[in-house]
Structure 1
């Protein structure tokens, strides 16, 4: 087995997790609770470090209030038998099992590791701080997969559909006069069962190679917060490379009340610019002499918004994404300059937590590995992450190509298509504030795409109206009919990027759009059982990998050849960026830069750095600006 490289060791050591490489774990909690991690098919260095107070960080960094309380921790769980159970809530019952929130019910970290948990009840109790008296109390869920019906103190308080998106319930009227409140959540998650066609990404009830174990339940943070009667409900915010800021502040009352927006230096009270306006109407103003956001200079600024008695903290980065001609070729532009975007297909799966990373530290570890190797982008593949993931990309300097979670590979009916489009709008509206997101992907490889009426043209227009500040990749891979800003080729293992050759599933390069390699590579390298997802059905699919190399030397040799080929296509043709498959192994896939347990890093680090720098150099010879250097006053490359 290839030894853990110096890069991996240093990153783990910096997280104080190196001891976990030796397999020394505390398998039960020390506080006497019944909850314990249920041994997953594979662990990570963080599995037994999670504890019973997971994800303590404030989960919504771009609309942050000072008065809040985290409800994560050990809840109670009971299986339900049907959708009709929601009509008979078991108020006051003590559920038989303990479960960790947030977590996927199918994961080891949940303490359950359940299967086919289509209907579920989860419960906890909470108290409201006495000094919140007279204020509204907002109950927030960052993500529940798939449908959540919320009850507080025996009353139905809210409902939400969509497994990737946040929602808020004003629970003020349901609160008890004493100190304890009962919170009950009914979860319905059909995944890909029966006739259900919903946004599921890679989730399936029958895992096989490129489709994985599903995630059900409250898989992101739950919290309450205090707000005045008229509070800031939503914030639309964009800051461009010219220093222009556009903000729309939406209030809970929808009254046209006055608001104030301030731009400050990061972690400072120094106000650079401020502007007043009216809630619900765009506010536009200019900030002079700003440092621009780019991968090599990820400069961010604090934002403070005031609406009457409400005050929230946010942040932004000044950058502009556009499409433009450079030396006769359509290119993706950042701050008016062609920057070659090179990153990985990032599935966001964990063997211990599935959709839920063990911790913020673990999640950021993956991104730091990519940054150290020289990547400047991740393609978040048909999954939506916690807001803290995008904040980390903002801070580290990583472009994000954000996919819409796809339907299962089938053709939706009219009702299913309407729901897909509703959730597409949720994706855009909830994530469009993060400076690092450069591109939206509507469809991946035709999954759930209606191919006879070309809905991607209409959806491209809709996305553009919701967010005119980013590029749109309407159809990543196929079926491409010419919609969007990007002509996106998928081909394994060799790239076909902006080139005069293509495979049968793709289409000829379209010079009116940006030539992009949305997926390539995918070469595999098998490992010993201690680094594999120890599920026989997954192990049996390893040989479905696009290409399997017998040693790490062979794997690195093949990677070098493929990266050189992409470099040549950048030099010779119209290639503007690429996505290597993939960040980590996942279940039966063994084609990651990291193994699924994050304990083995396959790349020869110096070789990969040279090859990736070669891509940026080739783009520079075609009018590009290297890896992401852009005009700035200060800052610099983030230190890891």
Structure 2
């Protein structure tokens, strides 16, 4: 069995040659963004060659990433499907507004120049050994609505800019010769027509809101499948070795499903069978449990008729419970203090799309080396390979639902709220098998939150979809008492699980987990070569909560802020926190590193000590021993796991 672990750590699975490209490919050129990274001019024209969907892997596939053809459009153009070269080269996956797209549509201060409607085209050939198979096309993400045409015929439609989708295109294909693919995308960001889940995107970037992302910004690939195949695979392993599996069939007809579970040495450790479209259980005896200190994963092979796919899981249990009289988050039965940064995942050259996997993983490596064991993925959804990397490296993920725009003059309508709910359901359904995700976040600071506590209905929906994780109904304020967390935001000093709270936060609720959803946010003066060079953006830098004159002063302030959190963990009921933030983003300058990822503000030794002090404070209150305070047995397990990780990912990647 081809190791999935090696495949998604930078080693691409075998794929077939790309289809044809239009003549506009030769005119593609990376544009000059307001700020570059070390990856900007090294991406090339064959981006993201790794297999894009690590939890439902097939050996045969063909990437359609690369240079496509693009043109701006209007609403009426949907009924006029173009053919041939559209005249402008664009690299997929990329936001149209990004430099890496080759287009970089400019915005003025009134938001003019945005791309509401657009056409994308490319061509591809169907490999000769796929002739007897059906063919499915897969999109990582397209913002906001995508209508897909193959050879001039409509093949499918998807709404939602944050989650992947698949369309069976078999009946529209030419099995011999070139096929034309055309995609019409509608993006109503900041439109008066409709309120949608935009996250941080806006047509008028300003401080904490950023350049929008239109078009196809996730990887595109095709693959051959049997007529009856697995459309989605849900896997979840708990600390007792119970592996729950559900294979969703493409045709809705029940059929046998057979499963083998493999350890990292490719030995079968469990097997079982069940029926498609129903949960069934396979048990693994004495599983090696997953945690941030020991991110142990098991490969899975699933057979459904003529379809065979690979996946993976980690065995861990996430719940809440009372420890020494305080309600706590539990990982594998122990109070586990999760601490990490607000992680926005924006890039100056790619916007929502990281330049490549190396760049994306770089951020996570910085965090892991400092001792963070968690990231809060802030009102954005990443490519699946991001979550796979967190699974491998050992980083818990607090996953936000991307917010509807925070506009006090436009409360979402009932129909818009229904669409938000549908998108929330889709987010959970498509991501609930990643072991690293431990909490779902529904609302951030009331953005797009209708009156009368809509979370009262949303929490039960999420709980039914995924009873294996915690739910943070409201992070920040407008808290009505639902979900597992009482989550407060307070800049710069924390107020976590304590008796003292300031408006707009509500007093700590001891029936729920005390959590500091955001705090910190301090910055320091940075030279121009590290700043997003847009006048309005750097004019808003002074809106940062606190700006220190030197990096030395900034680190001293960070020490004071983290020590305040340590005190609240030690004395009160604080069970974790989110420091703002991993990187600067456009005009928001409060990152551990600058937006270009070239300047690190932090003193590594100081931050490692201060973060370790948080874990030690939690351990003194009945928490798990994390980091340098963990037991010798746990340390030995982590050392063995690290050796296995290096062998699987690094040495194999170098050809050993």
CA distance in 1, matches of 2:558, 2:175: 64
Contact 2:25 2:67 in 1 (8 A): no
Regions of 4+ moved over 3 Å? 628-640
Contact 2:90 2:102 in 1 (8 A): yes
Equivalences for residues 357-368 of structure 1 within 5 A:
357-368=354-365
Question: Counterpart of 2:231?
Answer: 233
Question: Counterpart of 1:110?
Answer: 101
Equivalences for residues 397-476 of structure 1 within 5 A:
397-410=394-407, 411-451=411-451, 453-476=452-475
**1:358-403: CA deviations, max 9, x gaps?**
0000000000000000000000000000000000000000000000
CA distance in 1, matches of 2:530, 2:383: 26
Contact 1:340 1:626 in 2 (8 A): no
Q: Give 5+ residue unaligned stretches, structure 2.
A: 1-9, 11-23, 107-113, 647-656
Question: Counterpart of 2:6?
Answer: none
1:287 equivalent among 284, 288, 297: 284
Q: What's the offset of the Cα at 1:281?
A: 1.4
Closer/same/farther in 2, CA of residues 195 and 626 from structure 1, 3 Å limit = farther
Does residue 212 (structure 1) correspond to residue 210 (structure 2)? The answer is: yes
Contact 1:304 1:312 in 2 (8 A): yes
Query: What SS does structure 2 have at the residue aligned with 1:241?
Result: coil
Contact 2:126 2:176 in 1 (8 A): no
Question: Counterpart of 1:45?
Answer: 38
**1:519-568: CA deviations, max 9, x gaps?**
00000112111100000010110000011111101100100000000000
Relative contact order: is structure 1 or structure 2 higher (C-alpha 8 Å, sep ≥ 6)? 1
Question: Counterpart of 2:573?
Answer: 574
Query: What SS does structure 2 have at the residue aligned with 1:457?
Result: helix
CA distance in 2, matches of 1:543, 1:589: 9
2:317 equivalent among 304, 315, 320: 320
Contact 1:295 1:627 in 2 (8 A): no
Equivalences for residues 203-602 of structure 1 within 5 A:
203-266=201-264, 268-410=265-407, 411-451=411-451, 453-602=452-601
Question: Counterpart of 2:177?
Answer: 179
Q: What's the offset of the Cα at 1:33?
A: 2.3
Q: What's the offset of the Cα at 1:192?
A: 1.4
Contact 2:197 2:403 in 1 (8 A): yes
Question: Counterpart of 1:26?
Answer: none
Count of residue pairs the alignment pairs up = 607
Contact 2:544 2:588 in 1 (8 A): yes
Query: What SS does structure 2 have at the residue aligned with 1:298?
Result: coil
Contact 1:500 1:509 in 2 (8 A): yes
CA distance in 2, matches of 1:634, 1:516: 29
Q: What's the offset of the Cα at 1:269?
A: 3.4
Q: What's the offset of the Cα at 1:291?
A: 0.4
Contact 1:69 1:224 in 2 (8 A): yes
Query: What SS does structure 2 have at the residue aligned with 1:342?
Result: strand
Question: Counterpart of 2:200?
Answer: 202
Does residue 70 (structure 1) correspond to residue 70 (structure 2)? The answer is: no
Question: Counterpart of 2:189?
Answer: 191
Q: What's the offset of the Cα at 1:610?
A: 0.4
CA distance in 2, matches of 1:585, 1:179: 48
Question: Counterpart of 2:5?
Answer: none
Q: What's the offset of the Cα at 1:635?
A: 4.8
Contact 2:84 2:121 in 1 (8 A): no
Query: What SS does structure 1 have at the residue aligned with 2:428?
Result: helix
Question: Counterpart of 1:7?
Answer: none
**1:86-128: CA deviations, max 9, x gaps?**
01112x2321110000000000000000140111111000011
Closer/same/farther in 2, CA of residues 40 and 362 from structure 1, 3 Å limit = same
Query: What SS does structure 1 have at the residue aligned with 2:90?
Result: strand
CA distance in 2, matches of 1:523, 1:53: 39
CA distance in 2, matches of 1:426, 1:144: 14
Question: Counterpart of 1:160?
Answer: 158
Question: Counterpart of 2:77?
Answer: 85
CA distance in 2, matches of 1:332, 1:408: 30
TM-score (norm 2): 0.91
Query: What SS does structure 2 have at the residue aligned with 1:561?
Result: helix
CA distance in 2, matches of 1:567, 1:580: 13
Closer/same/farther in 2, CA of residues 617 and 635 from structure 1, 3 Å limit = closer
Question: Counterpart of 1:94?
Answer: 85
Contact 1:409 1:448 in 2 (8 A): yes
Contact 1:523 1:555 in 2 (8 A): yes
Contact 2:36 2:349 in 1 (8 A): yes
Closer/same/farther in 2, CA of residues 516 and 32 from structure 1, 3 Å limit = closer
Contact 1:401 1:441 in 2 (8 A): yes
Question: Counterpart of 2:137?
Answer: 139
Question: Counterpart of 2:120?
Answer: 122
**1:579-626: CA deviations, max 9, x gaps?**
000000000011000100000000011000000000000000000013
Contact 1:299 1:635 in 2 (8 A): no
For the aligned residue pairs, the C-alpha RMSD in angstroms reads 1.5
CA distance in 2, matches of 1:213, 1:443: 21
Q: What's the offset of the Cα at 1:339?
A: 1.1
Contact 1:404 1:424 in 2 (8 A): yes
Q: Give 5+ residue unaligned stretches, structure 1.
A: 1-14, 16-30
Q: What's the offset of the Cα at 1:77?
A: 0.6
Does residue 35 (structure 1) correspond to residue 33 (structure 2)? The answer is: no
CA distance in 1, matches of 2:125, 2:76: 30
**1:289-321: CA deviations, max 9, x gaps?**
210000000000001100011000000000000
Q: What's the offset of the Cα at 1:194?
A: 1.9
Question: Counterpart of 1:3?
Answer: none
CA distance in 2, matches of 1:95, 1:584: 37
Q: What's the offset of the Cα at 1:133?
A: 1.2
Question: Counterpart of 2:7?
Answer: none
